[in-house]
A and B are shown apart, each in its own frame.
Chain A
Amino acid sequence: MKAILTFATAASIAFVGSAMAQEDFSANLKARQGQFRILAINLGILGDMAKGKMDYDAAAAEAAAHSIHGVSMVHQAALWPEGSDNMSIDGTRALPMIWDDFADFSSKWDALGTAAENLVSVAGTGREAIGPALGQIGGTCKACHDTYRASAN
């Protein structure tokens, strides 16, 4: 009897413990995944111009570049609370390694900001300038995803 009680107590403590650990990060996930969507849509506009799928339009290119730059200015710390990694919760590909070196993670985001500033300065100057500037942006995406994002499926 005593053994059963002890077991039940231990089990309930464990249950409460895990329930407490399971915080609700859904707003954080929506925010951070939404910002990547905004990036993707605007990169798509510029990419289609670079590829020649869409006619070059200086105003539209600058608008897209400004949107990308705007997203890059969102401070990331509030969107990535500890425990919101793919081992702890569903619906994310964020690797726990992000929180092992959050300063490095942040510097990868800052690199996107630098590339976005360059994109803003060249987007209106002509179609030829867009490809290389996008290449820089892509480099910053890769640099971060390579270390901090799990593969799809």
Chain B
Amino acid sequence: MKNKLGILLALVAVGSGVAWGVLRASPVDEDRFAALSGNPDNGQTVFTAAGCASCHHAPDAEKDAKLILTGGQKFPSDFGTFIAPNISSDPVHGIGGWSLTEFASAVTKGVSPDGAHYYPAFPYTSYTKMTDQDVVDLWAYMQTLPASDAPSQPHEVGFPFNIRASLGGWKLLFMSDEWVVQNVSTEAETKGRYLVEALAHCGECHSPRNALGGLDRNNWLAGAPNPAGDGRIPALTPNQLDWASEDIAYYLESGFTPDFDSVGGHMVEVVDNFAKLSAEDRTAVAQYLKALPTAD
């Protein structure tokens, strides 16, 4: 912990001094999406695959109420407890008043409309790999969702992690738009890689992190402690997860493991999302996982 503090303070010093230009929160270019128009139908698929509602629905929401992105769910971590904000279409308390550029900056760069860094509990380090068309479509869809006027609650994060400027250094060290798995051999694996690494952000829970909370890309999807403190998040690499490809796809559809135990914890939300995607999408994820390199 002391070590963590030291490194972070050093980052803060760097962030606030010499390299300010590199570390500041810079939004995406205004004209990047100019030629694209949003398709809300595909946006809905992106929204489901990206699991937006799973974290942003109200803590006790069920069924259709999960589409009211009022926020309030708590996510404990080594750095404090993050509370999902209101990202409903409400223009005051949600994101209804944002421009497409502001939305894209938030989702793909972790930069807020007023130029602050978001904490990476918001998985923009995965969403940074989202295609421009999917970003535009997602925005088109999210504007059709209901508004909630519940104010966002502040995160429960203490010093020094409450200094958001330090996240500029964090991003420089740990944010990359390169694929973790460079070699994919089939169309299905390529699609699976996009779903796993970009949209569904599986690595955020299934990969271990270093002392500063950066993902350990050398142990990609090799399992990790549960930040919520309840058990361990299992490995998905083929040497650990010996399920057949069709068993993985069936699990994502039905929530049943090969021996017909049922899914639990936050993964219930993930399976609910995957069940709404196409059978091809679920198979693609399975193919990608089966082709994963074995962790060291």
* Residue positions of A touching B, CB distance < 8 A: 39-41, 43-44, 47, 51, 53, 131, 134-135, 138-139, 141-142, 145-146, 149-153
Contacts and interface: CB of A to CB of B under 8 A. Distances in A.
11 contacts: A39-B260, A43-B260, A44-B259, A51-B246, A141-B262, A142-B264, A145-B262, A145-B264, A149-B264, A150-B230, A151-B264
Interface string B251-264: 00111100111111
Nearest to B226: A151
B170 to A, nearest CB: 28
A138 to B, nearest CB: 5
A150 B231 CA distance: 8
Interface in B182-219: none
Contacts of B263: 142, 145
B232 interface: yes
Looking at chain A's contact residues, is the secondary structure mostly helix, strand, loop, or mixed? helix
Contact of B261 (A40, A131, A139, A150): A40
Interface string B222-251: 000010001110000000000000100010
A146 B259 CA distance: 18
A153 B256 contact: no
Interface in B254-292: 254-256, 259-265, 268, 271, 275
Interface of B: 226, 230-232, 246, 250, 253-256, 259-265, 268, 271, 275
Contact of A146 (B231, B232, B264): B264
B262 A153 contact: no
Contact of B255 (A51, A141, A149, A150): A141
A143 to B, nearest CB: 8
Contacts of A39: 260
A123 to B, nearest CB: 16
Given A47-B250, A146-B264, A151-B264, A40 B259 contact: yes
A146 B265 contact: yes
Given A51-B250, A134-B254, A150-B231, A142 B260 contact: no
A151 B230 contact: yes
Nearest to B256: A138
Contacts of A145: 262-264, 268
In the complex, the 8 A-B pairs of residues with the closest C-beta atoms, listed nearest first: A151-B231, A141-B262, A40-B260, A43-B260, A145-B264, A138-B255, A146-B268, A44-B260
